[in-house]
Amino acid sequence: MPKQVKSKPKVTVVGSFMMDLVVKAERRPAKGETLVGQEFGMFCGGKGANQAVAAARCCADVTMVGRVGDDIFGDKFFDALKSEGVETKYIIRDKENGTGIGTPVIDAHGDNSIIIIPRANTKMTPADVEKARDAIEKASALILQLEIPLDASEKAAEIARSNGVKVILNPAPARKIPESFLKKVDILTPNETEAQMLTGISVVDDEGAKKAAKKLLGMGVKDVIITLGGRGAMWASKAGFKTIPAFKVEKVIDTTAAGDAFIGGLSVALAEGKPMEDAIRFANACGGLAVTVMGAMPSLPKRECVEKTMCTGKCE
């Protein structure tokens, strides 16, 4: 009898690319000063690209949709995503606008300040998204964030919604989202800061998180998952509230991209048909593992590590 091959769950990400040009220096230069720094590094990032890689490392069949420039940064993204097995054929190379960049400056105290220039990301249009209709329609889950224009993201949500594809919106960076868009979202995943910015309700404890989640449900979203850092995540739906605790982490190294790892993992678990609570547990393992490694993309965990964490209860 031929061996049955289980097909991978399909996840499509419509989102951003941001090349991080990281500078390490003793301090920030004063006005007019030229300062010699210590280190430089170039890292692929952006919430869209990070979440696509996060889902791919959890063994999904991932397609990324977005815009990069016709420049060396764009080349780097194609190489990075291809090496992760992410489908790149719907990524547009913008001839007029360069790839989005971020320039974090990290000082001797480890304090970070960053200037972001989104460039090609800001040129994404609903027509670009329409060209990737096939990839959205065939997915089990669609992941969106707010680093590209809202009308492009909303178009992707519309295509997904009318084809029964689960729409996950990570509302980051937080900004006002039209109700027409929220009504097309199945799962909204803010962190505490974003939940507070979206609702105006202070989210510092479970009570605040519940109030904010209730308000977000009232705006038309089906499920709200507020990520609570080291405390895990709170799931809110019509049925009520449930906090799913985080996994144990011995030493937090760097929390960058914990949210991206969480969302990538969540999308894969849901695309595989796991019930919500199990999917959040899986996502908590992904987020927990991400804080044990320095950097964004390098910290996104592989499936085998996620499964090990789920067995042992510890992120190592």
Q: Is 260 a catalytic residue?
A: yes
CA dist., res. 83 & res. 53, Å (int): 10
Q: Which of 48, 118, 232, 301 binds ligand ADP (CB under 6 A)?
A: 232
- Burial letters 189-209, b for 16+ CB under 10 A, else e: bbbbebbbbbbebebeeeebb
Under the binding rule (CB under 6 A), the answer on residue 284 touching ligand ADP is: yes
What is the token pair recorded at 46?
């952006």
Q: Would residue 184 be called left, alpha or beta, if left means φ above 0 and alpha means ψ between -120 and 50 degrees?
A: alpha
Q: 142 or 203, CB closer to ligand ADP?
A: 203
Q: Enter the DSSP assignment of 7.
A: P
Query: How many other C-beta atoms are found inside a 10 Å radius of the C-beta of residue 115?
Result: 10
Q: Which of 135, 165, 198, 291 binds ligand ADP (CB under 6 A)?
A: 291
Q: 58 or 246, CB closer to ligand ADP?
A: 246
Shortest distance in whole angstroms from residue 162 CB to ligand ADP: 29
Shortest distance in whole angstroms from residue 245 CB to ligand ADP: 9
Shortest distance in whole angstroms from residue 185 CB to ligand ADP: 17
Using an 8 Å Cβ cutoff, are 103 and 124 in contact?
no
CA dist., res. 99 & res. 121, Å (int): 7
- Cis before 173 (ω within 30): yes
Shortest distance in whole angstroms from residue 20 CB to ligand ADP: 15
CA dist., res. 248 & res. 96, Å (int): 47
Under the binding rule (CB under 6 A), the answer on residue 258 touching ligand ADP is: yes
Under the binding rule (CB under 6 A), the answer on residue 268 touching ligand ADP is: no
Catalytic residue among 71, 134, 260, 278: 260
Q: Which of 259, 267, 270, 279 binds ligand ADP (CB under 6 A)?
A: 259
Q: 135 or 283, CB closer to ligand ADP?
A: 283
Q: What are phi and psi of 43, to 5 degrees?
A: -135, 135
Under the binding rule (CB under 6 A), the answer on residue 297 touching ligand ADP is: no
Residue 252 half-sphere exposure, CB side, CA atoms within 13 Å? 12
Under the binding rule (CB under 6 A), the answer on residue 12 touching ligand ADP is: no
Q: 165 or 198, CB closer to ligand ADP?
A: 198
Considering only 26-34, 89-97, 153-161, 253-261, which stretch makes contact with ligand ADP by CB under 6 A? Answer: 253-261
Under the binding rule (CB under 6 A), the answer on residue 287 touching ligand ADP is: yes
Any residues with CB less than 8 A from the CB of 244 and at least 6 apart, and which?
Answer: 232, 233, 234, 235, 277, 280, 281, 284
Q: How many residues bind ligand ADP (CB under 6 A)?
A: 19
Residue 224 Cα distances to 193, 209, 242, angstroms: 14, 10, 11
Q: Which of 99, 196, 227, 309 binds ligand ADP (CB under 6 A)?
A: 227
Considering only 43-51, 80-88, 153-161, 227-235, which stretch makes contact with ligand ADP by CB under 6 A? Answer: 227-235
- Catalog residues that contact ligand ADP under the rule CB under 6 A: 191, 227-230, 232-233, 246-247, 249, 252, 255, 258-259, 262, 284, 287-288, 291
Active site residues: 260
